[in-house]
Amino acid sequence: MTNSVQTQASKVWQTLTAPETAATYAKAGTLTWTLLKDIGYLIWLVLCLGLVAGEWIWKTGYKTGWEVRDWVNNLDKPKVETVGISAEAGATLVESLKAGLNNALIAAKTQLGMEVTVDEPVQPPVTVATPPAPPAPPVSLPASPVAVETKVASEGDVQPEKSPSPEPDQDA
C-alpha cells in the first residue's frame, strides 16, 4: 500500500515540476486575464449602449408624450407666463444637468465609435416683461406760508427749491 502511494506521489510531482506544466499554467493565466479584460470591456460597451438608447428613448418617446399631454391639458387655459427668481434658478439647474448629461452621452458615443452630433443650442427661456407700475396718485400739499418753487436743471431734472424762510440760519 505504501508502495502505490509513493508511486502516485512521484507521478504527481513529476507532472507538477515538468516544464510543460509551468508553460501551460502561464498560458492559462494569460488567457484568463485576457478573457476577463475583454468581458469587462464588453460590459462597459453595453452600458454605454444602454445610455445612448436611454437618450434616444427620452428624446423621442417620453419627452414627446409629456409635451402632448401638457398641450392637451393646457388647451383651455390662457397663456400667462411668469418668470421669477425660482424659475430662473430652476432653469440654470436644468441647463447644467443637460450639459452634464450631454458630456456623458458624447463620451459614450465616442467610446462606441458612433458619430457625435452636436444639438442646436437650447434657446433661453422667454421672459415676459412685467407691466409698468401704475402712476402714483397726485400728492396734495397742505397750504402753508412757505412757498415751493421749482427750478429746471440743465439736464431736464426738476428739483424743488424752497424760498427763503423766515427762520434764521444756525450755521454759527
SS (H, E, C) 9-53: HHHHHHHHHCHHHHHHHHHHHHHHHHHHHHHHHHHHHHHHHHHHH
Q: Within a domain: residue 144?
A: no
| Buried/exposed code over 48-75 (b: 16+ C-beta within 10 A; e: otherwise) | beebbeebeeeeeeeeeeeeeeeeeeee
In the prediction, which pLDDT does 161 show? Answer: 54
In a domain? residue 167: no
Answer yes or no: is 37 within a domain.
yes
Domain assignment of residue 78, yes or no: yes
Residue 170 inside a domain? The answer is no
Position 45 scores a pLDDT of 94
Which of 105, 111, 116 minimizes the C-alpha distance to 54?
105
Give domain status of residue 28, yes or no. yes
Give a yes or no: residue 113 inside a domain. Answer: yes
For 96, how many CA atoms within 13 A lie in the half-sphere containing its CB? 5
| Half-sphere exposure of residue 60: CA atoms within 13 angstroms, side-chain side | 6
Q: Which domain holds residue 111?
A: 7-120
Number of domains in the chain: 1
By the 8 A CB rule, do 150 and 161 touch? yes
**Mind listing the pLDDT tens digit of every residue in the chain (172 residues)?**
678 999 999 999 999 899 999 999 999 999 999 999 999 999 999 999 999 998 888 888 888 888 899 888 888 877 655 556 666 777 788 888 888 888 888 888 888 888 887 664 444 444 455 556 666 666 665 555 555 455 555 555 555 555 555 555 555 4
pLDDT at 74: 86
Q: Residue 74 domain-assigned?
A: yes
User: What is the gyration radius of the CA atoms in the chain, in angstroms?
Assistant: 42
